[in-house]
Amino acid sequence: MQLRHFIDTQEFSKKELLNIIELAQRIKKAHQQGYTPELLHGTSLAMIFEEPSTRTRVSFEVAMTQLGGHAIYLKPGEIHLGVRESLYDTAKVLSRMCDAIFARTLKHETITELARYADVPVFNGLTDYNHPTQAVCDVLTMLEHKPTNKRLEDLHITFIGDATNVLSSLMLITTRLGMHFTQVAPKKYQAPPEWIAQAQSNCAESGGTVHLEEDPIKGVQEADFIYTDLWWWVGQEDQIPERRAAFMPKYQVNLDIFNKAPSHCKFMHCLPASRGVEVTNEVMDHPRSIIFDQSENRLHTEKGLLVYFLYPRLKHASMELKAYHRGEIETMINQFDLI
């Protein structure tokens, strides 16, 4: 079968993305009732990290365990991609030993190179450009918490903050699915033209909309979900004073802004959060904050993704074939002169 990777949601149709989300929902329902089918029994996932992680690492490791597989954590600095060994060699070796490769890389080009050379599915666990597993999780969470009288295509999402990798992924998946997306930020920190062009292309096909706004109050007036993220990322530490001055206090998600949204509006954050910076404690811990439901859904999302990409590729031996090979191996062992 055709080898496919999960690097960018733009590589998938609306139907394919909804299929992944529906599969994650079904596996989550089974889990909540005390059963997770071991659909990936005996499989292994190589997990490469160039920076530390909490939710992404834990969700993928636990997902593999509950599905009957095994995850191998390759911590930052343990292997040096493209330094002690070429990306080509790393991809080929891991492809021979593992059923899939996960990578969290500082540069997007690193994971696209891995995917180019790998012979097994590669999962993007976050790069400087995007965070697609988080985006799928976010839509799953929105579906669980949307108003009952609204369809997916009716939902309005307002992201208040910088043009981060999370913004990129959220803007592109929501417009791909026909949803309505608004980024609220100072003009300097709004999404670049190439991201907007992709989102507009999505909207032309899906019926969704994308807007840029500088006024937070205007930006949240129709919001079903308000979402924010950190104002700086790895490598931007020298910009912290400038960024803090640009965003604070106007773009901090506080009760004043939250209360300007419709009364059913929910608050979301991918975490980790800087409490008291991009969002106040009152909003983080508000009854309509769904940040921990969102965080838990990373686990169920990873299960859906892993099963969707790995299960169809597995060889499922018949009971007769299993019995044959076991018998052959046991016969051989019995003939050995063991100590």
Instruction: Give 8's pLDDT tier (boundaries 50, 70, 90).
Output: very high
Q: Decide if 35 is inside a domain.
A: yes
Whether residues 47 and 179 share a domain: the answer is: no
pLDDT at 339 over 70: no
Alpha carbon 60 to its chain centroid, in Å, reads: 10
270 assigned to active site: yes
Q: Tell me the C-alpha distance between 126 and 300, whole Å.
A: 17
Catalytic: which of 5, 57, 176, 298? 298
DSSP 191: P
- Summary mean pLDDT of the chain: 95
134 assigned to active site: yes
- pLDDT for residue 128: 94
**Residues 6 or more apart from 146 whose CB is under 8 A from it?**
152, 155, 224
Q: Tell me the C-alpha distance between 27 and 86, whole Å.
A: 37
337 assigned to active site: no
- Give DSSP secondary structure letters for 166-179: HHHHHHHHHHHTT-
Q: What is the mean pLDDT of residues 19-44?
A: 97
Catalytic: which of 5, 99, 108, 134? 134
CATH of the domain at 53: 3.40.50.1370
Catalytic: which of 104, 108, 156, 180? 104
Catalytic: which of 57, 131, 176, 300? 131
Domain range for 180 is 134-294
99 assigned to active site: no
pLDDT at 294 over 90: yes
Phi-psi region of 34 (alpha: psi -120 to 50; beta: other; left: phi over 0): left
Which of 12-26, 45-59, 206-220, 289-303 has the weakest average pLDDT?
45-59
Whether residues 36 and 180 share a domain: the answer is: no
pLDDT at 78 over 80: no
104 assigned to active site: yes
294 assigned to active site: no
- Among residues 121, 134, 224, the alpha carbon closest in space to that of 170 is found at 134
Q: Tell me the C-alpha distance between 141 and 271, whole Å.
A: 14
Whether residues 125 and 201 share a domain: the answer is: no
What residues form DSSP beta bridges with 104?
49
Question: What tokens does 95 get?
Answer: 């492809």
Instruction: Give 82's pLDDT tier (boundaries 50, 70, 90).
Output: low
Q: Tell me the C-alpha distance between 228 and 252, whole Å.
A: 9
Whether residues 163 and 51 share a domain: the answer is: no
- pLDDT for residue 114: 96
Instruction: Give 235's pLDDT tier (boundaries 50, 70, 90).
Output: confident
pLDDT at 231 over 80: yes
Catalytic: which of 98, 203, 265, 270? 270
Q: Tell me the C-alpha distance between 183 and 291, whole Å.
A: 19
